[in-house]
Structure 1
């Protein structure tokens, strides 16, 4: 789990740094840094189940918005035949930008979800150890 969190911590910091040339870095830098911070805390052995859940719900809410937005993911899939979103890093087409942002949120949700589940497993292990001591 430590390697997983180190890798994603570094990736999220890089993703945040790449947002400074984006039209809305004030939204995306904090989003990616949120993921980086909680990965770094997990590396240090500190897990915050409630904050993982908050991040998952916030990212999912924004992802649903981006999916159904006028120039969102649904538009990219149906009206623009899922054209290549990696062709150029400068996205002049809003449906490409929204689709990239959607997948960025999807990555954050997966990483936070993995840590959320891992936290639950750690709690269950601690509980089993306590129960064994009582017996």
Structure 2
């Protein structure tokens, strides 16, 4: 798990750095850096269950918003035929930008979720 967490820590820091030119870096930089911090701490065998749960809840709520928003994932899928999200990195269409953000949150939820499950198993073994 140490390698897993170090890889995602570095990736999330890079993702945060790439948000610098985004229209809303004040939202996305902290989101990615929060997860990077949790991955770094997990690599150091330091687990904070409430921090994981907070991240999962906040990310899931924001993902749900992006999914159902009028220019969100449902709109991208139903009205725009799930057109490619990687044609250009400049997101000129709001449904592309929100869909990318949604899938970014899904990645964050999965990584934090894996760490949370792993942490629970480690704690059970110690008891």
* 1:124 CA displacement: 0.7
Paired position in structure 2 for 1:41? 41
State the SS of the aligned residue for 1:92: coil
1:105 aligns with 2:105: yes
Correspondence for 2:59: 59
Q: Deviations over 1:74-114 (max 9, x none)?
A: 00000000000011000000000000000000000001101
In the alignment, does 2:2 pair up with 1:2?
yes
* Backbone CA RMSD of aligned residues: 0.4
The TM-score normalised by the length of structure 1 is 0.93
How many Å apart are 1:48 and its aligned residue? 0.5
Deviations 1:34-90 (A, max 9, x none): 000000001111001110011000000000000000100000000000000011000
Residue 32 of structure 1 corresponds to 32
TM-score normalised to structure 2 length: 0.99
Task: Report the alpha carbon displacement of residue 28 of structure 1 after superposing the two structures with TM.
Answer: 0.2
- Structure 1 residue ranges, 4+ long, deviating more than 4 angstroms after superposition: none
What residue is the counterpart of 1:119 in the other structure?
119
Q: Distance in 2 between matches of 1:45 and 1:90?
A: 38
